[in-house]
Structure 1
Amino acid sequence: MKRYNKKLSYLALAIASALTSNITLAAEANESSSAENNSGLERIEVTARKTAETLQNVPVAVTSIGAEQLAQNGISVMTEVQQFSPNTTLQSSRGTNSTLTAFIRGVGQEDPLWGYEPGVGIYVDDVYIARPQGAVLDIIDVERIEVLRGPQGSLYGKNTIGGAIKYVTKKMSGDREFDLTATFGNYGRQDYKVAGKIPVIENKLYLGFALASLSRDGYGEFLETSLANQDTENYNKDVFAGRVTVEFTPTDDWFFRFNYDNTKDESNAKGGYRLLPSMLTDAPVPDSVYDSYTSLPTENLVENEGWSLTAEYFINDFWSVKSVTAARKNYSPTNIDFDNTPLQIFDVPAVYDDEQFSQEFQLNYDGENLTFVSGLYYFDSESCGHYDAIIFQSMTIDQSGCNNSESYAVYGQGSYNVTEKLSFTLGARFTEEEKSANVTKDIYGSIEYPISGWIPGYTRGNLAQTEVLNGNKTWSRFTPKVGAEYQIDDDMMVFVSYSQGFKSGTFNPRASTNEPAVNPEIVDSVELGIKSEWFDQLRVNATIFALEHKDRQYKSVAPNDDPTILDSRLGNIGQSEAIGLELEMHYAATESLNFNLAFGYIDSEFTEVLSWNGEGYDDISDIYTVANTPDMTANFGVSYNIESSVGSFVVNSNYYYRGDYALVEIDNRLTQEAYGLLNLGINWYSNDGDWTAALHWKNITDEEYMVGAYDFTGGQDDDGNWLPGFGGDTTLIAYYGDPSTVSLTIGYQF
């Protein structure tokens, strides 16, 4: 990271100067008041280190968005959380509404194909979700969402090299409650949610549930399809989700929780917008970015189901043990029309089928000067898929296979107070993982689909299944964390840390030969941060960081001279670096008026990408771009509380800014220009606390912005003319974020 040393020094000096001047100011402020007793700044609890702590005492760059803030901002899906977390990208992926593309600090995974591992870990109540399909979680029965930025290798293990997203549901206490909410909006939006808790045995045994039916008409339509009787709505929504929870506290020392959830997303396949006219069809470029064409069925399905059992025993005031057992499965038959024309130029009907099981045991200690979390972790998963790439309107590349993973880990992380002000943190995790994979591949001179009945009248025959890859590989990895924290006073802490994480090695799910596995990706990161509160009204948290991302898994050959040939051999050929700054502020100006700011800056680039030229390796890093990573993100929000005889009102607004960012990593030809989203909300609460209502207007200026893309062109010639690529057409496709929407939510609690 030598090239960033100078930039890092400038940033460090800037924060150090601020610290020097502010420490004196903080000391003066602390003489008269303490933020601990302040009514203006809310005490925020997080579990970033797998134990309950206050946000200001955790030496981790973490954003926590609570249930009230989520509701008042009208946040209905996890992807909207990106607005409140610096240097964070959470987008609905290409082709479906509920497949997640997640990047934090320039680290993530662009391709959601089975076998590829994510770079940002998604957790629901401490249970890891291994696949991105279905990971765009709707906000149902949630207490808070935490965004942990930077590698979390010691506590959370593999595939958290960019960070982790934690979806924390509510624990039950008190009397019986039922919550009913209904949301109505433009584009025919109708959301109905019911949640409740029933005390079966007072203060001991609770039954909780949450159900949601979420629907919306499409933002656009499929203007032309080659199949009859298709639903032509594009970007529509049709989701049913349910959760059942049982909590049992037989004594003060024991706690049990059982969760079961099921989500079924039957929204249509998402059609992309053609940015270039097709060379093979006369269908014009659509007028609306939400309109498309397709030659595949528009129906789609993403179904997720899972259960977990948590048991916790408090041995005494210092020691506790915890067990988390969980299993999940996902089934997703999907239709992805890459070329988005009525012709079968490049269509991919596919099936994803995943299962996972995990078991974690924890032994935790919380003493006066020492706290630590330790554990054993087991994970077993089977990630399978089958796709048929239909090309040239006449032939099919049939590919299927599985990547199976079994891993064991032992970890521990503790903090020791050397003095009342100085403490050190030390953590480590050792992981051993075994992966096996098989891939079959065949080419047919006919149009085929994964299973019979995919289109009316289609029957899949006894087609050849030629095995091209059968492999097995074992890796082990030690991932450390070390840090130091200094509590300047009750309201200010500074910290510095080094951490490492890794993303699992894998086999190529698109293999054409029995190629070897690629090794894990590694991220090394250093951070310098401050957590502070001022005059009982202002909270300022800031972090500067630098990271090095090594052994990135990419195509191991240079782009083919013939762009109609898709070569996808993998290798650990890439390396990138990044440096950045993150700032989060909350200012309680008065009891009624609050301001929030989240700002992120990052400078990231590929420093090396090696490609075999037949005789040696060339560095082709100049054609690689760190995708989904704007150099700047910022969110400024304001809220104002109004008390009246008819109830209380909360009026809030925020403006979210994203700088330029690339949509595609390799030979990027699509860059989304900087844009901003302006949002407004008006929330009402009845005096008796039973009724609520909220009016939200999102993307007021109706900005059009790309969130995903496919590039299968052959580039441009010297005259700027686009050349055909894979499939024989100029396929340059973009997917867009939500247009301007208005919604009214009415809630009743009894």
Structure 2
Amino acid sequence: MTMLRRTLTGLLFATTAVAGLHQPAAAQTGRTAPRAGPVEEIVVTARRREESLQDVPVSVSAFTGETLDLRGVPDITGLQRTTPNMTLQVARGSNSTLIAFIRGVGQQDPLWGFEPGVGLYVDDVYVARPQGAVLDIFDIERIEVLRGPQGTLYGRNTIGGAVKYVTRRIGNESELRLKTNIGTDGQRDLIVSGGLPLVENKLSIGGAFALYTRDGYGENLFSGADHYDKDVGAGRLALELTPTETTFFRLSYDRTEDGSNAKHGHRLTPLPGGSAPVLDDVFDTRAGAGDDNSVKNDGLSLLGEWQATDTITLKSITAYRQGDTDTLIDFDSTPGPILDVPAFYKDDQFSQELQLLYQGAGWQGVFGLYYLDANASGAFDTVLGNLGLTILTAGEVKTESYAAFADVSFDLTDQLSASVGLRYTLDEKEGTVFRANYAGIRSPEFGGIAQPPALIRTDYTNDRDFDEFTPRFSLTWQPTADLTAYASYSRGFKSGGFDMRGDAVLTPNTVNGYDPETVDSYEIGLKGQYFERLTLNLAGFYSKYDGQQITTQVPATSGIASFVDNVGSSEIYGFEAEGNLSVTDALSASFVLGYTHAEFDEFLTYDITTGQFVDVSDQRVFQNTPEWNAAVILTYLHDMGERGSLTFSGSAAFRDDASMFEIPSPLLDQDAYTLFDASIVWTSDDERWRVGLHGRNLTDKEYKVGGYSFPGALYGDSITAFYGPPRTITGTVEVRF
């Protein structure tokens, strides 16, 4: 972190000096001034080509960078409050690992080798691993949330949907933006961004750099360290080249370093014997496993675009990403090593995508080829202090993925159009898993005594191929320019793999891996704009979910048994509504409503005592899937003429009861709750200055976002929970040159 801080500080002074020589007029600052009145058009790329949000036949939410800035949204998990039927949270026991669910489909387990069910894309580059994926919001153009399977255009692992994080392009004007945030719990942030043309209309360089620091919401009462603190440095640097009017290249590099302390859970039950009672503050812990934690991610990408003709554009996206994580979780959250897990992860990925976009009279389409070469590896100890035993788990998954896809839209009449898409995906995977028992506390891999394993539980390398066709069909009817109705079918696919925790002693079939899962989804929608002041988007959906991959961990006499089942089938249906009303030229109201009914038809799980699969569908529920969620946001703009403008916004976000796991846990599951946020922002008349005050979770509501459940005296009756941020107040000052 020290090296990154020095680099960012040097760049800050250098950029400030350059900006002093290249200060454009205030009108060229590039800020979109806050405004109300008639609803503005938002352009999205949900179908890999630019379209109006109101015209695209996909259930998609779009948030501009300006909107998120005025609301004081700190990172992408804040989108959960104002997006229907979505869970987007920090993973249990982590500071920057992302957990995402849309319409009941996702993946809570962030262990290497497991694939997400909601794809994350940064400037159209797929981010394969969730570590470090809780992206802070700075210097962005917009974020799009695509709901439902996106398997045709976005491929494998988007069976629930996709989140697209789109950064700002540099352009051809000099600009420097400085922003600082000061808030509760010692929050101190610095964000610097800008751009500089090196050759007029030909070559520009720009970037954004941020330092985020915050004391802990709580304290580790055993070590004295901050708990739930933040120590993150992030930066992006880009070079844009426009050699001709028809060609464009963008070379981008980004890096994030998270040195925040390890996050341990809050015990919901006292330690048997009473030596560790339940603490009063949910953000406090008494964990003795340690506080060290480090997550480092970086990536390099090259975008090339060539407008070959008036109707044909060719695009290439080449990218490489890598990540390293060293962390630990004290599952029992006590000073003793009852259930401690030190771990490290390493991953890298190379991807190449080629696209041909056609935009002609009567029909449009995108055709593409995709290749991914990814490696994910890691190791962790499961320290069972009451047994004097440590189980080492280590392994690697190598993935090569190939895909070809096409999606074509064509007009049937002046008002009726159709879209047909198809993707073929082939995944080649090789998994290596090693699991062994060692006597004592910690294995040799994590600093324990050098010794041979007492028992090798798993030791294999195997490979499997998975392939699937994922079609999409839609019909769109536009009776007027302001009304769009559509019906669609889409199929999503997530490939199978190998369980990195698999125990071949307890579950011998683990060496064969697990199978893919698929989602077939049907959707109808209506998007309308009325009287130039109201937009109302409605969608209803029905999904058939087959082969769902469920990770199960259960206590066993020899430790903890883990296995992945393709549990069977389920049905999911629901609806979504999003609207925005400009009540007056100064006052606007937005609302969000989501409903999801998700139920297992069959849930076959492996019983380690009998060695048989049993159907327990009547005892299981969907995790991270509240039945209802809703939000209301009010925004008022007060124009003060030459003294600038004031923007007031307030919101209430409701989230229904939700279960942390498929097996309900009364102690761990979260009851329904509502979060209230408010902001007031002043923007100068020349749009150069902006000062804001943002309050989030104003009622200081305690709510769980994750947890672990290991009952029983052997595991210290360890039922622990992790919580969302408490009430925070943040003041912001931004200046643009």
Q: Give 5+ residue unaligned stretches, structure 2.
A: 1-35, 505-509
Match of 1:177 in 2: 175
1:625 matched to which residue of 2? Answer: 621
Change in CA separation of 1:449 and 1:139 when aligned onto 2, cut-off 3 Å: farther
Q: Partner of 1:87 in structure 2?
A: 85
Equivalent AA in structure 1 for residue 475 of structure 2: A
Q: Which residue of 2 aligns with 1:294?
A: 287
For 1:369, the equivalent position in structure 2 comes to 362
Conservation of the 8 A alpha-carbon contact between 1:180 and 1:195: yes
User: How does 1:528-567 map onto structure 2 within 5 Å?
Assistant: 528-554=524-550, 562=556, 565-567=559-561
- Deviation string 1:296-332 (CA, Å, 9 cap, x unpaired) is 1111011111010000100111001100000100100
TM-aligned CA deviation for residue 512 of structure 1: 2.0
User: SS of 1:59's equivalent?
Assistant: coil
Give per-residue Cα distances to partners, 1:78-107, cap 9 Å, x unaligned.
100111210011000111110011000010
- Tell me how far 1:203 sits from its aligned partner: 1.7
Match of 2:726 among 725, 731, 739: 739
Superposition pairs for residues 148-167 of structure 1, below 5 Å? Answer: 148-167=146-165
For residues 598-624 of structure 1, the C-alpha deviation after alignment (integer angstroms, 9 at most, x for no partner) is 110111122211135648642111232
Structure 1 residue identity aligned to 2:407 = Q
Q: Given that residues 441 and 448 in structure 2 are in contact (C-alpha distance below 8 angstroms), is that contact kept between their aligned partners in structure 1?
A: no
- Look up the SS of the partner of 1:604 in the other structure: strand
Match of 1:661 among 641, 658, 661: 658
Residue 496 of structure 1 deviates from its aligned partner by 0.3
Does the CA contact (< 8 Å) of 2:269 and 2:277 recur in 1? no
Look up the match of 2:211: 213
- Structure-2 residue corresponding to 1:319: 312
TM-fit CA distance, 1:147? 0.3
When normalised by structure 1's length, the TM-score is 0.90
- What SS is found at the alignment partner of 1:662? coil
Residues 189-242 of structure 1: CA distance to partner in whole angstroms, max 9, x if unpaired? 0010000100011122110111100000000011114xxxxx611000000001
Pick from 671, 674, 697: which aligns with 2:669? 671
Quote the Cα distance in structure 2 between the aligned partners of 1:372 and 1:440: 46
Matches of 1:616 and 1:178 in 2, distance apart? 64
Q: Which amino acid aligns with 1:666?
A: I
Amino acid at match of 2:196: I
Deviations 1:709-735 (A, max 9, x none): 10111xxxxxxxxx44xx432111110
Query: Kindly tell me: are residues 450 and 484 of structure 1, through their superposed partners in 2, closer, same or farther at Cα, counting changes over 3 Å?
Result: farther
Local SS of the residue matching 2:328: strand
1:33-48 superposed matches below 5 A: 40-48=38-46
1:621-667 CA distance string (max 9 Å, x none):
12321111111111100101111142111111111110111112235
* 2:515 equivalent in structure 1: 519
Partner of 2:56: 58
In 1, Cα distance between the equivalents of 2:104 and 2:350?
Answer: 29
Match of 2:646 in 1: 649
* Partner residue of 2:102 out of 97, 104, 110: 104
Partner residue of 1:606 out of 594, 600, 605: 600
Measured in 2, the distance between the counterparts of 1:115 and 1:349 equals: 18
Alignment match, 1:248? 241
Checking the alignment, whether the CA contact within 8 Å between 1:114 and 1:385 is kept in structure 2 is yes
Q: Is the 8 A contact 2:37 2:582 kept in 1?
A: no
Measure, in 2, the Cα distance between the counterparts of 1:85 and 1:556. Answer: 29
What corresponds to 2:507 in structure 1? Answer: none
On the 8 A contact 1:556/1:612 being kept in 2, the answer is no
Contact 1:554 1:574 in 2 (8 A): no
> Partners of 2:703 and 2:564 in 1: how far apart?
31
Cα offsets for 1:517-557 (capped at 9, x unmatched): 11111011000001100011000000000111110123589
Partner of 1:461: 450
Q: In structure 1, give the amino acid aligned to 2:113.
A: G
1:570 offset after TM fit, Å?
A: 2.5
Residue 403 of structure 1 corresponds to which residue in structure 2? 397
Task: Check whether the contact 1:145–1:165 (CA below 8 A) recurs between aligned residues.
Answer: yes
SS in 2 for 1:208: strand
Q: Which one-letter code corresponds to 1:152 in the other structure?
A: Q
Gaps of 5+ in 1: 1-37, 226-230, 453-457, 714-722
**Residue 448 of structure 1, CA deviation:** 1.7
CA distance in 2, matches of 1:378, 1:75: 34
Give the Cα–Cα distance (whole angstroms) in 2 for the partners of residues 335 and 731 of structure 1: 16
Task: Report the secondary structure of 2:567's partner residue.
Answer: strand
Which position in structure 1 is the counterpart of 2:694?
A: 696
Counterpart contact for 2:174–2:196, Cα < 8 Å: yes
**Once the two structures are superposed, what CA deviation does each residue of 1:457-486 show, in whole Å capped at 9, x if it has no partner?**
x56636559562211001111001011000
Corresponding residue of 1:445: 439
Give 2:723's aligned amino acid. Answer: Y
Report the secondary structure of 2:39's partner residue.
coil
Select which of 609, 630, 635 maps to 2:631.
635
Q: Which amino acid aligns with 2:59?
A: A
Check whether the contact 2:170–2:194 (CA below 8 A) recurs between aligned residues.
Answer: no
Give me the whole-angstrom Cα distance separating, in 1, the residues matched to 2:700 and 2:567.
41
Are 1:578 and 2:572 matched, yes or no?
yes
d(CA) in 1 for partners of 2:422, 2:75: 33
Residues paired across the two proteins, number: 690
**Letter paired with 1:538:** L
> Is the Cα contact below 8 Å between 1:90 and 1:100 reproduced in 2?
yes
Q: Which moved more, 1:458-467 or 1:692-701?
A: 458-467
Q: Is the 8 A contact 2:91 2:97 kept in 1?
A: yes
1:685 is matched by which residue type in structure 2? T
Tell me if 1:68 matches 2:62: no
| 3-state SS of paired residue (2:180) | strand
Q: Distance in 2 between matches of 1:667 and 1:747?
A: 46
Aligned ranges 1:391-430 → 2 under 5 Å:
391-393=384-386, 394-430=388-424
Contact 2:229–2:261 (Cα < 8 Å) also in 1: yes
Tell me if the contact between 1:254 and 1:311 (Cα under 8 Å) persists in the aligned partners: yes
Structure 1 residues 625 and 450: CA distance shift in structure 2, 3 A = farther
Please give the secondary structure, in 1, of the residue aligned with 2:560: coil
Opposite residue 740 of structure 1, the aligned amino acid is R
CA-atom RMSD in angstroms: 1.7
Q: In structure 2, what is the Cα distance between the partners aligned to 1:108 and 1:54? A: 28
Q: For 1:469-480, what aligned pairs fall within 5 Å after superposition? A: 469-480=460-471
Does the CA contact (< 8 Å) of 2:332 and 2:715 recur in 1?
Answer: no
Q: Is the 8 A contact 2:109 2:551 kept in 1?
A: no
Cα 1:176–1:612 shift into 2, 3 Å: closer
8 Å Cα contact 1:351-1:450 kept in structure 2: no
Say which SS state the counterpart of residue 224 (structure 1) adopts: coil
1:483 to 469, 474, 477: 474
Is the 1:93–1:100 contact (alpha carbons within 8 Å) kept by the matching residues of 2? yes
- The 5-angstrom pairing of residues 215-230 of structure 1 reads 215-225=213-223
In the alignment, does 2:726 pair up with 1:730? no
Question: Structure 1 residue 492: deviation in Å?
Answer: 0.3
Q: 2:282, 2:631 → 1: CA distance? A: 26
Question: CA shift at 1:571, angstroms?
Answer: 2.9
2:565 touches 2:606 (CA, 8 Å); kept in 1? Answer: no
Q: What's the CA shift string for 1:268-313, capped at 9, x where partnerless?
A: 1112110000116602211101011112111101111101000010
Following superposition of structure 1 onto structure 2, how do residues 496-507 of structure 1 map, counting pairs within 5 Å?
A: 496-507=487-498
Q: Give distance in 2, aligned partners of 1:368 and 1:96.
A: 50
Q: What percentage of aligned pairs have identical amino acids?
A: 42
What is the TM-score of this pair, normalised by structure 2?
0.91
